């Protein structure tokens, strides 16, 4: 290796050092989803990133999605996926598939990947120790084409009412990486399918995490000219939502970040999970790669 390349690597380590000091013993909640869960190279580098966080004394907690995997399994079983306003309609048959895929196949694949790369991870769902307590999500459709708002029954789609952080805290204290499937439990033991971004935000708030990081398939939040916004304040975010600049699937991600900040999470990030080692680049470098909500 050329001498200059070695010097550049040393500079990278020196740049990361103050961040390692600052975040030691802090909790970072990562929502893992999108292309980073599909591409084999990105899956491996994500596992390496999480392991490195743990090795330098940071407590990572991974909340994962799995929508494409659910859809693929449903089709294999002869079930037709149905969505309303981007939300999966989850009837009795679908909720069984959701739990099987998320808490079973996807969750254990991520745990296995982390463990194979030298980490120690344990998988769980919201049912374990009642970690994610939930209730039915009321969904009301509004629009100019409707004379009155329409109430839509999405089945077993839930919203978080409380996070019980005890099990997560026990695992991080034991230097084990928790990997959480976004499956919640109701007061009567019902199973609820919950948006993984929302679960990550609630977990981060319950643990007063140092950071909430959402991995996406876009560069971050962009302005009206399509330029990345590296730092964003609450007022600016709300203005861009009102103007329609922030739209579609980015709205719930931004709202999750803003809500987490209001509830005590120090920083929230939306980053591009298609970039190798995106997590490390955002946390341990001066410039970062995505959008930071301070």
Q: Where are the domains of the chain?
A: 22-77+96-120+174-182+193-293
Residue 1 has pLDDT above 70, yes or no: no
- What tens digit of pLDDT does each residue of 81-95 get? 888 877 888 999 999
Closest CA to 128 of 157, 99, 93, 159: 99
Least confident of 12-16, 72-76, 104-108, 212-216: 12-16
d(CA 113, CA 241) in angstroms, rounded, equals: 37
Query: Residues, the chain, total?
Result: 294
Residue 237 has pLDDT above 70, yes or no: yes
- What tens digit of pLDDT does each residue of 245-270 get? 998 888 889 999 999 999 999 999 99
Residues in contact with 91: Cβ distance below 8 Å, sequence separation at least 6, in sequence order: 155, 156
Looking at per-residue pLDDT, the higher value among 123 and 19 belongs to 123
Q: What is the mean pLDDT of the chain?
A: 91
Least confident of 39-43, 83-87, 122-126, 213-217: 83-87
Q: How confident is the model at residue 206 (pLDDT cuts 50, 70, 90)?
A: very high
Residue 145 has pLDDT above 60, yes or no: no
Q: How confident is the model at residue 147 (pLDDT cuts 50, 70, 90)?
A: low
Percent of the chain with pLDDT over 90: 72
Bridge partners, 62 (sequence order): 30, 179
pLDDT at 143: 55
Backbone angles phi, psi at 166, to 5 degrees: -60, -50
Q: How confident is the model at residue 286 (pLDDT cuts 50, 70, 90)?
A: confident
Class for the domain spanning 22-77+96-120+174-182+193-293? alpha beta
pLDDT at 146: 55
| CB contact at 8 A, 37 and 219 | no
Average pLDDT rounded to a whole number, residues 97-111: 96
| CB contact at 8 A, 178 and 132 | no
| CB contact at 8 A, 106 and 66 | yes
Q: How confident is the model at residue 142 (pLDDT cuts 50, 70, 90)?
A: low
Kindly calculate the radius of gyration of the chain based on its CA atoms and give it in whole angstroms.
19
d(CA 276, CA 49) in angstroms, rounded, equals: 9
Least confident of 20-34, 42-56, 145-159: 145-159
Q: How confident is the model at residue 202 (pLDDT cuts 50, 70, 90)?
A: very high
Question: How many of the other CB atoms lie within 10 Å of CB of 25?
Answer: 9
């Amino acid at each position: 290796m050329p001498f200059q390349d070695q010097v550049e690597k040393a500079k990278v380590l020196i740049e990361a050092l103050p961040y390692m000091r600052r975040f030691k013993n802090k909790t970072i909640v990562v929502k893992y989803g999108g292309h980073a869960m599909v591409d084999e190279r990105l899956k491996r580098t994500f596992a390496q990133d999480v392991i490195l966080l743990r090795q330098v004394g940071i407590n990572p907690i991974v909340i994962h999605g799995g929508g494409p995997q659910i859809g693929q399994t449903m089709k294999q079983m002869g079930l037709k996926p149905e969505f309303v306003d981007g939300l999966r309609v989850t009837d009795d048959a679908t909720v069984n598939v959701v739990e099987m895929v998320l808490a079973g196949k996807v969750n254990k694949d991520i745990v296995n990947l982390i463990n194979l790369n030298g980490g120690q991870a344990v998988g769980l769902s919201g049912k374990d120790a009642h970690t994610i307590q939930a209730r039915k999500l009321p969904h009301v459709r509004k629009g100019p084409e409707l004379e009155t708002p329409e109430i839509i029954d999405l089945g077993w789609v839930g919203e978080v009412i409380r996070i019980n952080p005890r099990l997560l805290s026990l695992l991080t204290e034991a230097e084990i990486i928790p990997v959480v499937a976004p499956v919640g439990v109701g007061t009567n033991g019902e199973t609820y399918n919950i948006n993984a971004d929302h679960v990550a935000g609630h977990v981060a708030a319950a643990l007063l995490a140092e950071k909430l990081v959402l991995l996406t398939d876009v560069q971050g939040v962009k302005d009206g000219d399509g330029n990345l916004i590296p730092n964003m304040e609450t007022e600016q975010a709300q203005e861009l939502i009102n103007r329609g600049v922030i739209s579609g699937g980015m709205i719930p991600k931004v709202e999750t970040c803003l809500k987490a900040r209001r509830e005590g999470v120090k920083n929230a990030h939306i980053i591009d999970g298609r970039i190798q080692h995106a997590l490390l680049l955002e946390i341990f470098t001066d410039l970062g790669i995505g959008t930071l909500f301070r």
